[in-house]
Structure 1
């Protein structure tokens, strides 16, 4: 019989660990790391004793382990996204479903969505107040939601409007339930679980309409949205995805690619306002059509401000040898993305925001991990990267983003994501004044003379 060998950790009562994580996640991770090293054991709400890792070799070994040895945890977002979600599926079922979902988010398929993303960015940025500070995250949320609705759901008309209103509420309630140990049935029909069930029911009704409409569309094969592609996708045995699987996966793609992408963009604004020299260089690069520094900046933003700061696995085998440790069946293991990105050996002067470190250098697959790693790495990582690049390019071309000497915005835990506490506040001015309509010029002779002059 194999004897378990777990790393040491704080001996204080488990409920204190949970309080420290809920009230100051980054501070707690770093404090325990300083005391116990790159691996330690803490008692976490829902998970119990959990091994926290940040050693690159051990993290790589965990991510590359066969799924019959280590796989996803049980208490994951699948309970909100449905049994057909990638979060719910394990082993061979997960592999088969992921294979169907991969093509729309890689290679030449991505180019189809570039114009759509820029259109949505320009549309929402047109409403930005000029010369007055505002929270950019609200706008970024709208942009990424509209992109998802068009690119993934193929939504338009009444369904587009209904989903645009419904989905933020569904995600917000689901995030709160994922973070807090609220028992199902709490407060009955007035409680958060009942509210979530109502939102999910509304979502299923709308998506059923979209699926039925797409399935009977004679031009289905010509459509570019992910819904249309999933309806035409086939497993290796020739069978199609069920309507329930499609609904669950569409919601999964929304959850994985909406809030996280918007939050990273808000963090990007927060970082750039506090680094004016970098901001000037980015504007100059955008004006001549370059992208290298912008891409490096987005990589560095995700390193210093990861929106998801950890990813977890559960041991499924009788035991699992992971580097120095022997983990028993059922053991929860958490990879701290935050601590990996803090590693001085991987990223010299890690607390500094320095995009130069990624100029001409690809981030390491097993060391830079804002999208997780292994078989469960975020399937929409390439799409999200492209979307952030286009939205930031549009911002730099259209607006002057004013620097600030305000303190850094703190990270606020929103249930799943770590967001800027003040939502990435910014003050902007248009770089090029919009053209004045002819009718308006004719009605204002003084203004017309000014324009002519």
Structure 2
């Protein structure tokens, strides 16, 4: 990588370099990434260069025109950022693949997330929301983050694996701890060795091994099911899928992809829902309008609210690429091979909309957000494959809660942002006070 960068030093044209010692840049990026990027952008503009831990020399952008170039670039010129989430999700995860391998895998994974398939999962979302809501305290403030985590985990487990059973109960206990640990480690350098099963990386590897064992058992049960060809769960669809050459996915690939769906999908969706409750509690007029809408079949305002929550309280704050071309043209800049390019999603959402600090879902009623200014799911060929699933899940959860409860309003200031490693959540857990209707 170093040699490739050194070959053409005279032809590179990089954005302004953050003028701080590398150690300070690294600490800021790891511990206070949003604040660090916001301060740098205020000084240098929406394209600058910094030294980031794990990713190395990095160009950060938050201008829609530049973001469009990054997301629309050839997959031969820009690869997935290195390293990426495959470190914690496994080498069979879609995060680990590039070029033709990545395209073929996405094509194979598309059917379970097609609109018609997602419709089959709506009743699961409603059932899990009602089951969890049965235990919520009435008239007493409580955190919504953990209940949302349980709902989204149960939904994705049922959608992925189908029927209930002892294996799913085991996964319900195994996954939350593994996801929390993996989310923390994903932003840190990986040591050359794990230092045993009691070290963080060793514990993560052990959690992954146990997940693989359960998936092997579930695969064997699925293949032995006499109704296997009629099953609509994601595991069955994956087992029946074939690449263009007729070959199936390996068991390791299936296991890593399922872990990706379960781990990456449930935490981010739950975090967004917790933010939704945190925001709605502070906007009683919006809640009244949403409640009226929920009593019918419409969802325009609810969808606009989800869009605005994702804009104003971005859960995943960046998407990254690795420059594989000898030189990548990005606006007026020329980025050498070996550099990372990071799209600051949180900064992009702040500076691409009028009055960005105002929470206003009505800005999206009858007005879809610009494609490259609103990117909570990333963009281009690496846009989150489960985006439609997550959107439907959030819509059904909010509709179900609004039909069952009223939400007490508050004049308290909004909750601050808390980093869980990969995802950003409400610092106090998205607290609400609900009353049964």
Q: TM-score, normalising length from structure 2? A: 0.96
The residue number in structure 1 matching 2:320 is 312
1:258 aligns with 2:292: no
Q: Is 1:84 matched up with 2:119?
A: no
Residues 412-442 of structure 1 deviation map (CA, whole Å, 9 limit, x = unaligned): 11110011111101111101xxxxxxxxxxx
1:389-400 equivalences under 5 Å are 389-400=395-406
Structure 2 residue 222 is the aligned partner of structure 1 residue 214: yes
Match of 1:114 in 2: 122
Give the direction of change, closer, same or farther, for the CA distance of 1:189–1:114 in structure 2 (3 Å limit).
Answer: closer
The offset of 1:153, in angstroms, is 2.4
Structure 2 partner of 1:369: 375
Give the distance between the partners of 1:307 and 1:111, measured in 2 at CA: 25
- Aligned with residue 188 of structure 2, among 171, 180, 183: 180
- Name 2:60's counterpart in structure 1: 52
The residue aligned with 2:24 is 16
User: Aligned equivalents of 1:182 and 1:244: distance in 2?
Assistant: 22
Deviation at 1:184, TM superposition (A): 4.8
Question: By how many angstroms is 1:155 displaced?
Answer: 5.0
Judged with a 3 Å threshold, the aligned counterparts in structure 2 of structure 1 residues 189 and 253 are, in CA distance, closer, same or farther, namely: closer
Shift of 1:380: 0.2
Q: Distance in 1 between matches of 2:34 and 2:340?
A: 19
Structure 2 CA distance, aligned partners of 1:39 and 1:298?
A: 28
Note the alpha carbon deviations across 1:336-364, whole angstroms, 9 max, x for none. 10111112xx3111111111110011222
Q: Select 1:197's aligned residue among 205, 210, 220.
A: 205
Deviations 1:106-143 (A, max 9, x none): 22111100111100000001110111111101000000
Aligned position for 1:424: 430
SS in 1 for 2:121: helix
Aligned counterpart, 1:104? 112
Residue 410 of structure 2 corresponds to 404
Q: Could you tell me how far apart the structure 2 residues matched to 1:109 and 1:118 are? A: 16
Distance 1:119 1:184, change over 3 A: farther
Which of the numbers 332, 355, 380 marks the counterpart of 1:349? 355
CA distance in 2, matches of 1:9, 1:412: 28
Q: Return the match for 1:74 from 82, 102, 121.
A: 82
The answer (yes or no) to whether the contact 1:234–1:240 under 8 Å persists in 2 is yes
Which residue in the other structure is 2:3 paired with? none
Separation in 1, partners of 2:343, 2:68: 10
Q: How far 1:82 moved relative to its partner?
A: 1.4
Greater shift after overlay, 369-378 or 29-38? 29-38
In structure 2, the residue matched to 1:151 is: 159
The root-mean-square deviation of aligned C-alpha atoms, in Å, is: 1.2
Residues of 1 paired with 2:385 and 2:62: CA distance? 23
Q: Are the counterparts in 1 of residues 317 and 344 from structure 2 also a CA contact under 8 Å?
A: yes
Change (3 A) 1:318 1:155: farther
1:194-217 superposed Cα distances (whole Å, 9 cap, x missing partner): 111111111111010001111121
Structure-1 residue corresponding to 2:4 = none
Q: Check conservation: 1:153, 1:250, Cα contact below 8 A.
A: no
Deviations 1:159-180 (A, max 9, x none): 0100000011111111111123
Is 2:35 the partner of 1:27? yes
Structure 2, unpaired ranges of 5+: 1-7
Deviation at 1:189, TM superposition (A): 3.1
Contact 1:155 1:210 in 2 (8 A): no
Q: Which has the larger radius of gyration?
A: 1
Counterpart for residue 451 of structure 1: none
Deviation at 1:38, TM superposition (A): 1.2
Q: Does 1:284 align with 2:313?
A: no
Contact 2:30 2:53 (C-alpha < 8 Å) held by counterparts: no
Are positions 1:380 and 2:386 aligned together? yes
- How far the C-alpha of 1:365 sits from its partner, in A, is 1.8
Give the drift of 1:331: 0.7
TM-score by length of 1: 0.93
Structure 2 distance, partners of 1:242, 1:48, is: 33
